[in-house]
Each structure stands twice: as C-alpha cells, then as structure tokens.
Structure 1
Amino acid sequence: MRRRMVLGALPLLGACSVLNQDYVEPRRYPLAPRRPGASVMGASLSGGRGRNRKTLLMRLTRAAAGLDGRLLRSVRADGTEATEYYAEWTAPPAEAAEDALRRWLVDSGMFAAVLAPGTRGAVDLTMESELVALHVDLGRGVAVCSMTVVVLRDTSQFGTRVVGQYAETATVPVPPDRPLGPDAQAAGMVAALAAVLGRLEGDLRAVA
C-alpha cells in the first residue's frame, strides 16, 4: 500500500515542478528595415523617371526550408542549428521580408506603382522572390541574409519571359559576446536584410 502511494505521488510532483516554473515573456522583434532617406509618409525622396516608370506586381515571397517559423535562428560553429525559444519575429520572416521589400521599392521611386496580387491595375512587370537565408552564424560572428528575385514580363508575341534574375547575400558583424543575446541577433539580421534590399534595388534599376 505504501509503495502504491509513493508511485501515485510521482506524477503529481512532476506536475508541481512544471507549474512552479517562472513564466518567461517572449521577446518579439519587427523585421522591418527602412530605406535610408525614406520619408515618414513613405513617399520617395530620391525621385523617379517621370512618366516612363513601369508598374511592378509583387507576388508573395516564398520561404526556403526552415524559414517558415518566427523563432530567431542561429547556426553554431559545428553547423548545428539553434533557436531562441523566447525570442521571435512579430511576423513570419518571409512575410516580413516581403513587406519590407515592398516599402523599400515604393520609397525608391523606381516604379510608378508597386502592386499586390489581385490588383486590377495594369501590370508591366511581375516579380517573384524568395527568402533563402536569415540567421546568425555564431562561428563567424555575423548575421546572414539571402534573397532571390526573378522579374517577368508578359508579351503578346513571346508570352511570359524572364527579364531579370538576381540573388543577393549580405553579412553584418554582430557583437562577439557569448552567449549572444536575442537583441543583438535580431538587430544584426535586420541590418543584413536592409543590405540585401539595397543591393536588390540596384539590380532592379536595370529593368525598371
């Protein structure tokens, strides 16, 4: 009888240990870099190319494998992956990167309009994008971001054809503190995404 009472108490003790754990408030970070020189209202300060500017339809940004979750990701020196269970992005990374890219291109003034799927406006160019990498490389002490972009044009004579294809990667140093805190990780990845968007802006000027 005594043994049964001891065994029966074990699950209760385990439950008590879980209930007694302190609640940890998750930290949430916006993945929202802004183009340098952008106005508060989002209008471009760099100017466009007059009436010859094209319209650009942005399709939804895809997420590479492992980038569909919100938790901050890092890669250790041995190549294994780590996540910050109490630190996350305010939106899925690919969704946030798409929104940031859209605002960045609007602020650049390169296009007459940057349109969303389902638009009824006339479309000159269509852009497909993918967020390929977004993490902190702990071995190298850098934040890493990679994106790819394909620009398409519909023509009555040749159908849909590719007019531009670009892949950009940027790394930004992060503080060498160990362990590296989520604030520094998030800031590094936001800066890396900003660098990638700046390079994509330069690429897209060739087709704008």
Structure 2
Amino acid sequence: MRITRRHGLVLLPALLAGCTVFPDRPNVPVRRYGLAPRRPESRPPRRGGPVLLVRSLRGVPGLQELGLRRVRPEGGYDIAPYEEWIAPPADLAEPALRAWLLDSGLFAAVVAPGSRAEASLVLEAQLTRLEAAPAAGEARAALSGVLLREERLSARILAPLEVSATAPLAANAEPPAQAEAMEAALGGAFTALERAIAQAIR
C-alpha cells in the first residue's frame, strides 16, 4: 500500500497517541549502599607470620539479591525493591574481609586467588546471613567455612568455622539505618571469625 504525504499526516497523530496509552510509572530513585566494615583498630602485618589466602567468598541462595533483606515479623523475608547494595553482598564482603584480617596483625600477608605468594593457610568461607530484623530490634550477619593448612601434596583442615553477630536496630528504622546496622553486624561476625582463626593457629 502506498502512503502519500497526506495519509502520513493523518496517521501521525494516531501514532503519537499510541505512545501515551501506557499508564505513568512512579519515578522512584534507587538508593545504593556500600558494605565495608572497618575494624576499630589496625595492627601492622606480623613479621615472619603465615600468609593467608582468602578464597572467593560465596553467598548462600537468597543473599545473591542486590535488594536489602528484611525479616518480616511472622518470619518470612522481604527484598527491598528500591534499596540496594552496590553489588551482591558476598562480593562486597570479600575484599572487606581480606582487609580486616590483614589489619589483625596475625599474618604477614592476606592474599586473593591468583596471587603468586605462597600461602600456608587457606580460608574458604561463605556468607550465610545478612538481614535486618526490625521487629526483633537487630540486624544479623553470619559466616561459615573452614580453615586449611596447605601442605606439600594436600591440605589439612585446621578448624571448621561458624560465626554470627548482631547489631542493634530500631523497630522503625529506615533503610539507610538498616544497611548501617547490617554492616555493623557483619563487622561483628568478622571479629568472631578472626578470633576463631587466631585460636586455630596458636
């Protein structure tokens, strides 16, 4: 079918009208949060101490979402649609954990996979909980894993690791305060993990 200039002018208003048939959607800005707990004090690397390799930190199912995770009073979970971490929580917790353990003073160095440094200790861990529970007045974080000693042809398990921590959270806390409390809870879990590792390598 041949469309003339006159026909085109007739069709143009109809096409423009077709672009407005969808209902307006609310323009809600997404707020994003970092996750990098800082230890209260930093100690220098231990001269002559062991080198620790921290393997990639994994997140259990449910902790791979960007949205902040909140526990409902009846026990279910909500994932906030417009309140997000800047990356999956485990991806953010991994470099933070390495920095935390490096500043513990327990190790000569703390390295990542791919490093050419020869590590005598290996930490394999996963993030098992990171959530706000306003009804309970707290935020929660937990990690589990295993500490290995690298030997010539094998690795020996030094200790299984299972740690958790909480941080206070007001019942009416807004998402920024929830994210801050979850970060504090994760710092508490890092403290417990550091303590467990120190005990295992004594």
Same fold, TM-score > 0.5, yes or no: yes
Shift of 1:102: 0.5
Counterpart selection for 2:187 from 190, 194, 202: 194
CA distance in 1, matches of 2:66, 2:95: 15
Counterpart for residue 173 of structure 1: 168
Shift of 1:30: 0.5
Counterpart for residue 81 of structure 2: 85
RMSD: 1.8
> Between Structure 1 and Structure 2, how many residues are aligned?
184
Structure 1 runs of 4+ with >3 Å offset: 11-14, 47-50
Q: Does 1:21 align with 2:16?
A: no
Among the aligned pairs, what percent are the same residue?
Answer: 38
SS of the counterpart of 1:83? Answer: strand
Counterpart selection for 1:118 from 105, 114, 119: 114
Report the TM-score, using the length of structure 1 for normalisation: 0.82
CA distance in 1, matches of 2:97, 2:197: 12
Counterpart for residue 50 of structure 1: 47
Counterpart selection for 1:36 from 35, 40, 43: 40
- Letter matched to residue 142 of structure 1: E
CA distance in 2, matches of 1:103, 1:48: 11
CA distance in 2, matches of 1:30, 1:197: 16
Shift of 1:128: 0.2
Q: Which runs of 5+ in 1 are unaligned?
A: 1-10, 39-45
CA distance in 1, matches of 2:68, 2:76: 14
- Letter matched to residue 205 of structure 1: A
Counterpart selection for 2:143 from 142, 147, 164: 147
Does the 8 A contact of 2:141 with 2:189 survive in 1? yes
Counterpart for residue 4 of structure 1: none
CA distance in 2, matches of 1:14, 1:66: 37
- Letter matched to residue 194 of structure 1: G
Report the TM-score, using the length of structure 2 for normalisation: 0.84
Q: Deviations over 1:117-174 (max 9, x none)?
A: 11111110111010000011233121010001311112237x3210122111111120
Does the 8 A contact of 2:45 with 2:109 survive in 1? no
Counterpart for residue 8 of structure 2: none
CA distance in 2, matches of 1:14, 1:126: 59
Does the 8 A contact of 2:135 with 2:171 survive in 1? no
Counterpart selection for 1:106 from 82, 102, 109: 102
Q: Does 1:130 align with 2:134?
A: no
Q: Deviations over 1:13-65 (max 9, x none)?
A: 760x2xx3331111111011111123xxxxxxx345432x0001111001111
Q: Which runs of 5+ in 2 are unaligned?
A: 1-17
- Letter matched to residue 184 of structure 2: A
Shift of 1:201: 1.2
CA distance in 2, matches of 1:133, 1:71: 14
Q: Deviations over 1:91-130 (max 9, x none)?
A: 2100111111101011112111111111111110111010
